[in-house]
C-alpha cells in the first residue's frame, strides 16, 4: 500500500522569559509534525507518536503502520534533536497542543499514543496529567499549569520498545565509579567495570551488583543536590538564571559487560550506541550536556515526574506493551515492570522474539510487530 507523508507545523503562545530553544519568536512555541497515511482511505483514529527529542517520523514501525492502512502522526516537541535544556513538563504541553490541533485540523475523533522508546514514559506522563492534572510547577519551581493546558486524554496507549523513564535509564547507566563531578576521570577502580583492575569481573556476584546499583543512585542524588543548590544561588540574583554543565560517565551498566544481568536475546558486550566503554564518556552519551533545570526535570532519580512506573499506576486506558527480546536499549525488565505497574484492566503484553530496538538488524520481524499492533487496535474498535 502506497503512503503519503505530509509535513506540517503550528505554533501556540507561551509566556516565559527563559528561552530553551535556539531562535524563534518570543512568546511562541513551534511544533513540527509529520502525518503519514495511506494514499486512499479515511480514518477516525490517529496513532500519535512523540518522543522528548522527536526525530522518529521515519522509524520502521511508524512507516509499517501507515502501509498497513493506519493514520499516523509524528509530533516533534520544541526540543527536536537537542535535549540539553529539555523540560519534560513542556513536552507534555507540546503533545497536548498537537492532539488538540490534529483533532481540529484533520477531524480525528480518537487518539492512540504510540510510546516508542523514550516516548513510552512521555505517553504515560501525558495520560496521567490529562486525566488528573496535578502539576503547577516544574521540579525547579518554575510555573507550568498542566490543568490550564486543557490536555485531552488519549483513548489508548502503546508502549513499544519503551523504557521506564529517562531518569531511571540514566541512573541505571550512570558510572558509579565517579565520586567527584569536578574530577570525573579520577575513578574508583572497585566500581569501574571498564577498568581491568576492578576486583569484580563478570559474571558479577549479587553483592557487587547491589553495591553498584546503590552507588549509581547515590551519584544521581549528588548531582541533583548540586543542581538544586546552584539553582537556588542563581535565583537570588534572577529567578530565570540558568547554567549548563557536563555529565561524564553515562553508559556504565553491568548489563553491557555481563550478559547474565537482565538476560535476553541481545548481543553481549555492546549497547545501542556501540562500544559502551567508548560511549561512556563520548559526545553522544545520554545526558552528556544538560542544564540545572533540565537535570531536575528529566534526569533526576528523585525529582523527575515522568516516571513510567509511577505514572502507569494512574493509567487506566487500554494499553499494549511490546517487548523486543534482542533490544540493546530497552531490556526486557523495563517492559515487564511497566506492564506490571499499569492500572488498566485492559492491558496486553507481546514479545517479538529476536527483534532489535529499531527492527533494523531484523527487518523481517517488522511485519510481526505491525500485525500485533493492528490486531490490538482492531480488537478494540480503533
- Mean per-residue pLDDT over the chain, rounded: 96
Lookup: cell for 374: 493492528
Compute the average pLDDT of residues 243-262: 97
Q: What is the pLDDT of residue 15?
A: 81
Q: What residues have CB less than 8 Å from 280, skipping those under 6 apart?
A: 175, 194, 248, 249, 250, 251, 252
For 232, residues 6+ apart whose C-beta sits below 8 A from its C-beta are none
User: 294-317: per-residue pLDDT in tens?
Assistant: 999 999 999 999 999 999 999 999
Nearest C-alpha neighbor of 32 from the set 107, 101, 106: 101
Whether 1 shows a pLDDT value over 80: the answer reads: no
CA dist., res. 355 & res. 324, Å (int) = 5
Contact 31, 98 (CB under 8 A): yes
pLDDT at 14: 87
pLDDT in tens, 47-92: 999 999 999 999 999 999 999 999 999 999 999 999 999 999 999 9
For 190-215, write each residue's pLDDT tens digit. 999 999 999 999 999 999 999 999 99
CA–CA gap between residue 62 and residue 319 (Å, rounded) = 18
CB atoms within 10 A of CB 79: 23
Going from the C-alpha of 190 to that of each of 46, 196, 285, the distances in angstroms are: 51, 10, 23
Confidence of residue 17 (pLDDT cuts 50, 70, 90): confident
Q: Does pLDDT of 281 surpass 80?
A: yes
Sign of the alpha-carbon torsion through 13, 17, 22, 23 = positive
Query: Taking the domains of the chain in order of start, what are their residue ranges?
Result: 3-165+305-379, 171-299
Q: How confident is the model at residue 26 (pLDDT cuts 50, 70, 90)?
A: confident
Give the model's pLDDT for residue 185.
96
Percentage above 90 pLDDT, the chain: 95
Q: Which of 351, 329, 173 is nearest to 251 (CA)?
A: 173
| pTM passes above 0.75 | yes
The CATH architecture of the domain made up of 3-165+305-379 is 3-Layer(aba) Sandwich (3.40)
Question: Rounded distance, CA 349 to CA 347, Å?
Answer: 7
Q: Contact 112/45 with Cβ under 8 angstroms?
A: yes
Which residues make Cβ contacts (< 8 Å) with residue 140, sequence separation at least 6? 231, 292, 293, 296, 297
Exposed, middle or buried: residue 220 (CB in 10 Å: 0-12, 13-18, 19+)? Answer: buried
CA quadruple 158, 160, 163, 165: dihedral, nearest 10: -40
Q: Which position has the grid cell 581491568?
A: 196
Q: What is the pLDDT of residue 315?
A: 98
Each residue of 107-161: pLDDT tens digit?
999 999 999 999 999 999 999 999 999 999 999 999 999 999 999 999 999 999 9
pLDDT at 20: 79
Output the pLDDT for position 24. 74
| pLDDT surpassing 90 at residue 162 | yes
Beta bridge partners of 33: 8, 75
Amino acid at each position: 500500500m502506497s503512503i503519503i507523508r505530509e509535513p506540517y507545523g503550528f505554533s501556540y503562545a507561551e509566556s516565559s522569559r527563559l528561552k530553551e530553544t535556539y531562535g524563534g519568536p518570543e512568546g511562541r512555541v513551534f511544533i513540527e509534525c509529520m502525518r503519514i497515511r495511506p494514499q486512499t482511505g479515511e480514518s477516525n483514529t490517529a496513532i500519535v507518536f512523540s518522543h522528548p527529542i522527536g526525530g522518529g517520523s521515519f522509524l520502521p514501525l511508524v512507516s509499517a503502520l501507515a502501509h498497513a492502512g493506519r493514520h499516523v502522526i509524528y509530533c516533534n516537541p520544541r526540543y527536536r534533536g537537542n535535549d540539553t535544556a529539555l523540560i519534560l513538563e513542556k513536552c507534555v504541553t507540546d503533545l497536548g497542543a498537537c492532539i488538540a490541533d490534529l483533532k481540529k485540523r484533520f477531524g480525528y475523533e480518537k487518539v492512540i499514543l504510540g510510546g516508542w522508546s523514550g516516548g513510552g514514559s512521555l505517553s504515560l506522563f501525558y495520560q496521567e496529567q490529562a486525566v488528573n492534572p496535578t502539576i503547577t510547577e516544574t521540579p525547579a519551581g518554575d510555573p507550568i499549569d498542566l490543568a490550564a493546558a486543557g490536555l485531552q486524554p488519549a483513548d489508548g496507549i502503546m508502549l513499544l520498545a519503551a523504557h521506564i523513564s529517562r531518569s531511571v535509564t540514566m541512573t541505571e547507566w550512570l558510572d558509579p565509579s565517579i565520586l567527584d563531578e569536578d574530577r570525573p576521570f579520577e575513578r574508583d577502580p572497585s566500581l569501574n567495570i571498564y577498568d581491568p583492575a576492578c576486583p569484580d569481573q563478570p559474571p558479577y556476584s549479587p553483592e557487587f551488583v547491589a553495591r553498584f546499583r546503590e552507588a549509581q543512585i547515590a551519584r544521581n542524588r549528588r548531582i541533583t543536590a548540586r543542581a538544586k543548590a546552584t539553582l537556588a544561588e542563581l535565583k537570588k540574583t534572577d529567578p530565570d538564571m540558568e547554567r549548563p554543565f557536563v555529565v561524564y560517565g553515562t553508559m556504565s551498566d553491568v548489563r553491557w559487560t555481563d550478559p547474565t544481568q537482565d538476560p535476553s536475546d541481545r548481543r553481549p558486550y555492546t549497547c545501542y550506541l556501540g562500544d559502551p566503554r567508548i560511549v561512556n564518556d563520548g559526545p553522544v552519551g545520554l545526558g552528556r550536556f544538560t542544564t540545572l533545570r533540565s537535570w531536575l526535570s528529566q534526569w533526576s532519580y528523585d525529582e523527575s515526574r515522568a516516571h513510567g512506573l509511577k505514572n502507569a499506576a494512574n493509567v487506566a486506558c487500554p494499553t499494549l506493551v511490546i517487548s523486543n527480546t534482542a533490544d540493546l536499549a530497552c531490556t526486557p525488565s523495563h517492559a515487564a515492570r511497566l506492564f506490571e505497574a499499569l492500572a488498566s484492566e485492559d492491558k496486553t503484553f507481546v514479545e517479538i522474539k529476536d527483534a532489535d530496538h529499531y527492527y533494523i538488524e531484523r527487518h523481517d520481524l517488522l511485519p510481526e510487530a505491525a500485525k500485533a499492533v493492528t490486531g490490538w487496535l482492531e480488537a478494540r474498535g480503533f
